[in-house]
Structure formats: structure tokens, C-alpha cells
């Protein structure tokens, strides 16, 4: 009955065990951890001759790397018409044994909303004959990084992803995360996985090519993380709103770098990179932002929606007596002066917007946990919402928006 007992007891370094009938219940629990290295690089013109940022990352594992696939955001490709040639020449120079095909894919939220576009990424990965030691390089904004990252994470149970972030939003926030996903069932990021990228490269030269909306988008996330973690950063942004809006790179790039680093440090030092706990400490303004994007049919960009979400949560904190009037007004003023609109017509459906709370709770799991602020740089979690006060906060932003329009008319 226990014929293998002799083998077990005679195995080196193993103690004899008592075998029990298989009909007994058994339970085994063990705690284990996996070590990750999170790599972040700041550079400009990543594919330029003489820039070895990418080649050094690839060369670390070149002996084990079979193939490389490169996906480029169509918005980036349009603004840099010779990019495909630059990428080809770069690999000829630094890694001549690799000759990746450059694949152009739609940018913006479309790539996360359209099943056909996502399937095309998967098809391209399969046709590129990649193995689990291969690299997938995604060049673009946050949506492209999300979609390509998701596809890479479910191919052979995970390929090595290098994110080359090209927008203020991705460089300030989303590229730092260990999340990948696409939208489904009308819900933001409904399908996705946690998977750490092999490396993140912020290409700051691409920021000069952004449209106004894409330029502004990352600064809402920078303001958010400043409100939560860095009062001095908020003061710097508040003092330089007009320069940020006018694209003063000497002012703007340090803000984006600091925001990116704060998000990066949160992932690596906060102890919950895969969001197993109830709290989502960096999601100030996000329960409503995700719902606003959905309600607007993604007419609202994520950055613009986050700006409104910050305004809603800051106003709610003020109405609840947690945040003083002066700080409340400074937050709204900062968002407004940089160029964000703090009201959108879909906010007339305020009760529908409040449904974002339930969806947010479902997405994060556990009890509803939303970060709030008592002062700039001082946070706490709230676990229930006063619906009347939240509706009042949304209504207040409509009046704030109208006051701003009247001021514009007066100024003109």
C-alpha cells in the first residue's frame, strides 16, 4: 500500500514521512514571493544614433533573446514620419542580428475599445515567432502601452515588454504601473492583468509633437500625485501653470519626471504593486474619471476626465469639512489655469455618474475605499459617500464652469 515509503526515506536530505490514506482531508499553505526589477529610464530621441539606452537594456539579455517585435502608436508615426526607418537603422547599428518588423497600430482609446484592433496585435505577435525570452517594444501613449502590454502578457503566458512612453500622461503615470488591459462591456479596463514590464523608457523628445489635449493630459495626473504625496510639487505646478500651458519644456519636463518618479516609487516601495489590498492610494479623482470617460463615449480623454475627477473629490472634501476653502480654491484654480475644463455636459446625469462608485468598488474588490485629502500632501481613506454632498459637489462645478465663462466674456 505504501510501496514508495522506502524510496522517500532513503532520499538524501529528506526526513521520513508518514503516509496517510488518501481519503483523509489535507491542506497545505505556503507563502512565497517573486523578485522583480522595475527599470525606468529618461532620455530623448531613443532611436537616435549614439543613444544606447534601449540597446543596453536589450543587451543585458541578448544571449537569450530570440526575436523582437515593435508596435508603434499611429499618432506617433504620423508626427515622426521617418520613425520606422529610424528604428530599422537603430537595430542595424546596435543589434544587427535582430531585424524587427515595425507594426503601426491605432492610438488613443480606440485600441482599447475595438476587439478587431486588439486581435490584430495578437495575430502580429503570433506571426513574429516570439518565445518567452523575446522582447515586445511598445512605442506610444498609455492606451497603446496598455493594449500591447495585455497582448504580450497573455502570449506564451508572458513576453518581455519594454514600454517607450511618448505622451505626458504615460510618462507621468500610466507607464510606471504594472497593469495592462483593454476596455470591455462599456467599462474601463474591464479585461486585463497585472504584469511588470521589463523596462520603461520615457522619450521626452516626443512631447514637443503632442496636440494640445495630449500635452495637457499628463498634468492632471501630476497634480493628483502632488496633492497626495508632494506639497512642494503642487506649489511648483501652481506657480507655473501658465508656463506649463504654453509648453515651456524647462518647466514642464521636471514636473513630468517628478510625477513619473513618484508613481514609480509607489509601485516599488508601497508594498502593494498588484493591488491585493482594499486601498487604492493613487486613485484620487478616478472613480468618477473612469465613469465620465464611459458616459462621454470616450470623447473625454483620461487626462481631462481625471482633472474633473480631482475637482469633484476636492470639492466633496471641502463640503464635508475636511479640506479648507483656501486649498480647495487653489486646486480648482490650478487645474483651470493649466487649461482643463472642470465640467462636461454628461455631468447633468449626476445620478448615473454616481454609479461609478459601484463600478469602482467592483473593479478594485472588497469594500469601497477612496482616497481623500485633508491638506495638500495629507491623505486618508473614506469608505462611504454622502450622496447629497457628492451631488452638491457636482452641481458646484457646473456653477464654477459658468463663472469662468462669464469671466472670459468680461475679459474680452
CATH code, domain carrying 361: 1.20.1090.10
**Has residue 186 got a pLDDT over 90?**
no
* Enclosing domain of residue 156: 40-209
Q: What confidence tens digit (pLDDT) does each residue in 124-173 have?
A: 999 988 988 899 999 999 999 999 999 999 999 999 999 999 999 999 99
Q: Are residues 172 and 281 both part of a single domain?
A: no
Bridging pattern class, strands 135-140 and 160-165? parallel
Overall domain count for the chain: 2
Cα(167)–Cα(214) distance, rounded to whole angstroms? 7
In a domain, 232, yes or no: no
- Where does a domain end: 209, 242, 266? 209
Q: Are residues 69 and 195 both part of a single domain?
A: yes
In a domain, 100, yes or no: yes
- The grid cell for 63 is 544571449
Least confident of 2-11, 39-48, 76-85, 104-113: 2-11
The predicted pLDDT at position 370 comes to 92
What is the CB-side half-sphere exposure of residue 3 using CA atoms within 13 A? 1
CATH code, domain carrying 126: 3.40.50.1970
Cα(147)–Cα(71) distance, rounded to whole angstroms? 10
Q: What confidence tens digit (pLDDT) does each residue in 195-206 have?
A: 999 999 999 999
In a domain, 356, yes or no: yes
363 contacts: CB under 8 Å, gap ≥ 6? 187, 189, 190, 290
The predicted pLDDT at position 50 comes to 92
* Residue with the three cell numbers 446625469: 349
Burial of residue 295 (CB within 10 Å: 0-12, 13-18, 19+) is: buried
Q: Are residues 317 and 169 both part of a single domain?
A: no
Q: Are residues 90 and 192 both part of a single domain?
A: yes
Burial of residue 98 (CB within 10 Å: 0-12, 13-18, 19+) is: middle
Name the average pLDDT for the chain: 89
- Where does a domain end: 178, 193, 209? 209
Cα(7)–Cα(161) distance, rounded to whole angstroms? 44
Find out whether 380 and 374 touch, Cβ atoms under 8 Å.
yes
**Has residue 8 got a pLDDT over 70?**
no
Beta bridge pairs of residue 249: none
The predicted pLDDT at position 17 comes to 64
In a domain, 58, yes or no: yes
Share of the chain above pLDDT 70, in %: 89
In a domain, 247, yes or no: no
- Where does a domain end: 166, 190, 209? 209
What is the CB-side half-sphere exposure of residue 353 using CA atoms within 13 A? 27
Amino acid at each position: 500500500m505504501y510501496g514508495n515509503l522506502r524510496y522517500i526515506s532513503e532520499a538524501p536530505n529528506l526526513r521520513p514521512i508518514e503516509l496517510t490514506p488518501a481519503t483523509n482531508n489535507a491542506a497545505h499553505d505556503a507563502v512565497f514571493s517573486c523578485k522583480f526589477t522595475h527599470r525606468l529610464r529618461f532620455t530623448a530621441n531613443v532611436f537616435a544614433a549614439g543613444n544606447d539606452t534601449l540597446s543596453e537594456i536589450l543587451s543585458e539579455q541578448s544571449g537569450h533573446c530570440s526575436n523582437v517585435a515593435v508596435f508603434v502608436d499611429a499618432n506617433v508615426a504620423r508626427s515622426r514620419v521617418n520613425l520606422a526607418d529610424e528604428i530599422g537603422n537603430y537595430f542595424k547599428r546596435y543589434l544587427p542580428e535582430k531585424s524587427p518588423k515595425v507594426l503601426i497600430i491605432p492610438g488613443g482609446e480606440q485600441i482599447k475599445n475595438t476587439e478587431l484592433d486588439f486581435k490584430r496585435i495578437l495575430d502580429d505577435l503570433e506571426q513574429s515567432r516570439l518565445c518567452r525570452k523575446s522582447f515586445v517594444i511598445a512605442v506610444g501613449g498609455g492606451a497603446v502601452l496598455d493594449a500591447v502590454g495585455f497582448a504580450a502578457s497573455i502570449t506564451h503566458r508572458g513576453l518581455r515588454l519594454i514600454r517607450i512612453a511618448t505622451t505626458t500622461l504615460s510618462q507621468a503615470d500610466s507607464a510606471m504601473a504594472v497593469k495592462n488591459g483593454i476596455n470591455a462591456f462599456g467599462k474601463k479596463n474591464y479585461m486585463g492583468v497585472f504584469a511588470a514590464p521589463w523596462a520603461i523608457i520615457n522619450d521626452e523628445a516626443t512631447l514637443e509633437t503632442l496636440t494640445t489635449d495630449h500635452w495637457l493630459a499628463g498634468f492632471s495626473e501630476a497634480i493628483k500625485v502632488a496633492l497626495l504625496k508632494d506639497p512642494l510639487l503642487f506649489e511648483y505646478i501652481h506657480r507655473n501653470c501658465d508656463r506649463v500651458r504654453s509648453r515651456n519644456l524647462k518647466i514642464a519636463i521636471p514636473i513630468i519626471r517628478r510625477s513619473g518618479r513618484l508613481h514609480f516609487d509607489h509601485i516599488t516601495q508601497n508594498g502593494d504593486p498588484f493591488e491585493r489590498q482594499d486601498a487604492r492610494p493613487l486613485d484620487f479623482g478616478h472613480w468618477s474619471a473612469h465613469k465620465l470617460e464611459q458616459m462621454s463615449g470616450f470623447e473625454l480623454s483620461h487626462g481631462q476626465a481625471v482633472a474633473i475627477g480631482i475637482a469633484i473629490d476636492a470639492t466633496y472634501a471641502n463640503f464635508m469639512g475636511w479640506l479648507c476653502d483656501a486649498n480647495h480654491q487653489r486646486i480648482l484654480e490650478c487645474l483651470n489655469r493649466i487649461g482643463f475644463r472642470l465640467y462636461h455636459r454628461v455631468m447633468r446625469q449626476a445620478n448615473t455618474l454616481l454609479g461609478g462608485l459601484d463600478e469602482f468598488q467592483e473593479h478594485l474588490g472588497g469594500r469601497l475605499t477612496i482616497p481623500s485629502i485633508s491638506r495638500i500632501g495629507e491623505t486618508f481613506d473614506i469608505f462611504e459617500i454622502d450622496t447629497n454632498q457628492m451631488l452638491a459637489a457636482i452641481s458646484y462645478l457646473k456653477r464654477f464652469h459658468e463663472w469662468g465663462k462669464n469671466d472670459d466674456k468680461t475679459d474680452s
